[in-house]
Structure 1
Amino acid sequence: MKRIFLFLLTNIAVMVVLSITMNVLGVGRYLTTQGLDLTQLLIFSALVGFTGSFISLLLSKWMAKQSTGARVINPQAPANAREAWLVDTVHQLADRAGIGHPEVAIYDGPPNAFATGAFKNDALVAVSTGLLDSMTEEEVAAVLGHEVAHIANGDMITLTLIQGVVNTFVVFLARVVGYFVDRVVLKNDRDIGMGYYATVIVCEIVFGLLASIIVAWFSRQREYRADAGSAKLMGAREPMVRALARLGGLEPGELPKSFEASGISGGAGIAALFSTHPPIEDRIRALRSAQTL
């Protein structure tokens, strides 16, 4: 969750800086005396939207290491038997998935793990000390399989492309609405006024929040695929089921009936729309009901 938040935050920051810089340099010539040049505006929007996303992607490994304090294990000289086992397990899973060996790291924190990186053959898998201390080796291996599946599925690239598309529409629509408010509502027939700039800022915030709902929905779908990918790499679904159950504080076994009416995400109310991960119980149910691994 933290790395996704950092990805989105960096993306927004880069997008704003690029937008301002390109306007100052005169790159965005979409405002003319005749009105909006929609073709030029779309090109400008795509440049700002996709550039922000790809810069965020290229910085993702560095940001993840800095934000968690993750320490990368030297595969040639692990400090102890646990580190050696971690590296060996990730490398075996990567071989099964047909990708290059990721960097393997450990960080201090509650039970969790993540994978990130711009390229399948140059990624990072990190696991917390809390997860290592609270799970069996088989459960940890299942979690590592989940993260390797993220890499093999190209999930960070997919998320980047989706973010780039929604960024493009956020930039585009915010300026169309801003122009409409400035010229039609405020009846400004001279140069672009403050009404335009104020409206653009407000619309980018509002549209950006709506866009986050779309990105979060795609993120939830990739979690289901990574769970199934872990089961395939492990050759059985039960290790991942047990790992998910432990992460959710549940006893491995049949799900309680109270989960039958659970929502579509981990949050409650409107927060559910912005959740990047589905509820643990929904993930277990989906994994158990899958017809094939």
Structure 2
Amino acid sequence: MMRILLFLATNLAVLVVASITLKLLGVDRYTGQNHGDLLIFCAVFGFTGSFISLFLSKWMAKKSTGTQIIDQPRTRQEQWLVSTVERLARDAGVGMPEVGIFPAYEANAFATGWNRNNSLVAVSQGLLERFSPEEVEAVLAHEIGHVANGDMVTLTLIQGVVNTFVMFFARIFGNFVDKAVLKNENDGPGIGYYVATIAAELVLGILASIIVMWFSRKREFRADEAGAQLAGTGAMISALRRLQIESGQVESHMPDSLAAFGISGSLKNGLAGLLMSHPPLEVRIAALQQRG
């Protein structure tokens, strides 16, 4: 429940800032009379935010997780990690990513970056300590699969589209409430427009997140398949089973902004289940077993 409350509070803050910014830019004078202009402005604003997040993703990931980049391997473990990522990236046909380790006991990993040839792959210290080399390689292959499939860019585009329509329909709803319900006869929007718009953005933002997370779960199966192709189906299944054993034992410290690009996600029910970035591990294992 706390995660949902934090999610709602974060979205409310973002939507309030967006609404104020649009007002300062004069965009909110398009409150329904000219839908074409309104849609263009919403698209510019919605996609700009998504692409700024994409271009800053590596920097944000390093800062939020405390990831230490391996510029020059100092141990045999670091040398093995770099050489394994290099081989997997070559086999997948992508540029060599930056490789890093972040200090967390939980077993997790993530990939991020703005394109296939300028990415970051990082693993937790706990994963390196408790997983076998074959399982670590499978996890790395899964993350390289995300990079090769262009998942970061794909989700950015999807997020930009849903941002655009959330802002667009929220403003149409705000204009309807202001003019038709509250009978505001002034030329400009009244207070009812702003209150209704922010409320609609909050509700539509949750619905939009459900759509984005649905795409994220579909994308996770593709990354598993890529990991199986690069490291072997048996190794990929073994890594997921190890994650299944550990799930619930350690609370995740992966930032929500990176959860969609991690190897593991928590199992949730109800509304929280619709906001899961990953399918249940048993479903992912079954998919790989069917693959053979």
Q: Which residue in the other structure is 1:261 paired with?
A: none
How far apart are residue 243 of structure 1 and its match? Answer: 0.2
- Aligned equivalent of 1:121: 117
What is the CA deviation profile of residues 214-265 of structure 1, one whole-angstrom value per residue up to 9, with x for unaligned ones? 000000011100000011112x200000000001108xxxxxxxxxxxxxx8
TM-score normalized with structure 2 length: 0.86
Confirm whether residue 24 of structure 1 aligns to residue 24 of structure 2.
Answer: yes
Q: Flag as ranges the 4+ runs of structure 1 deviating above 2 A.
A: 8-23, 25-29
| Counterparts of residues 165-204 of structure 1 (less than 5 Å) | 165-190=161-186, 191-204=188-201
Quote the residue 1:258 is aligned against. Answer: none
Taking a change above 3 Å as real, the CA distance of residues 160 and 144 of structure 1, as seen in their structure-2 partners, is: same
Q: CA deviation at 1:17?
A: 4.1
Using the size of structure 1 for normalisation, the TM-score is 0.86
Q: Which runs of 5+ in 2 are unaligned?
A: 1-7, 247-265
- The corresponding residue for 2:35 is 38
1:15·1:52 contact (CA, 8 Å) conserved in 2? Answer: no
Q: State the match for 2:283 in structure 1.
A: 282
Alignment of 1:1-293 (within 5 A): 17=17, 19-27=19-27, 29-31=29-31, 36-74=33-71, 77-109=72-104, 110-190=106-186, 191-234=188-231, 236-249=232-245, 266-290=267-291
Task: Quote the Cα distance in structure 2 between the aligned partners of 1:193 and 1:158.
Answer: 38
Q: Partner amino acid for 1:123?
A: S
Distance (whole Å) between structure 2 residues aligned to residue 222 and residue 287 of structure 1: 14
Q: Which runs of 5+ in 1 are unaligned?
A: 1-7, 251-264
**CA separation of 1:9/1:101 partners in 2, compared to 1, >3 Å: closer, same or farther?**
farther
Q: Determine the C-alpha separation between the residues in 1 that align with 2:218 and 2:196.
A: 33
The whole-number CA distance in structure 2 between the counterparts of 1:193 and 1:203 is 16
Q: Structure 2: which amino acid aligns with 1:63?
A: M
Cα distance in 1 for residues equivalent to 2:52 and 2:97: 20
Query: Does the 8 Å contact 2:178/2:190 carry over to 1?
Result: yes
Alpha-carbon offset, residue 12 of structure 1: 8.2
- The 2-side partners of 1:28 and 1:116 are apart by 34
Q: Deviations over 1:107-164 (max 9, x none)?
A: 1111000000011101000000110111100000000000000000000000000000
The one-letter code sitting in structure 1 at the alignment partner of 2:276 is S
Alignment length, in residue pairs? 265
- Compared CA separation, residues 148 and 276, structure 1 to 2 (3 A): same
Identity of matched residues, %: 58
CA deviation map 1:28-55 (0-9, x unaligned): 5524xxx521001100110111111101
- What do you get for the CA RMSD once the two structures are aligned? 2.1
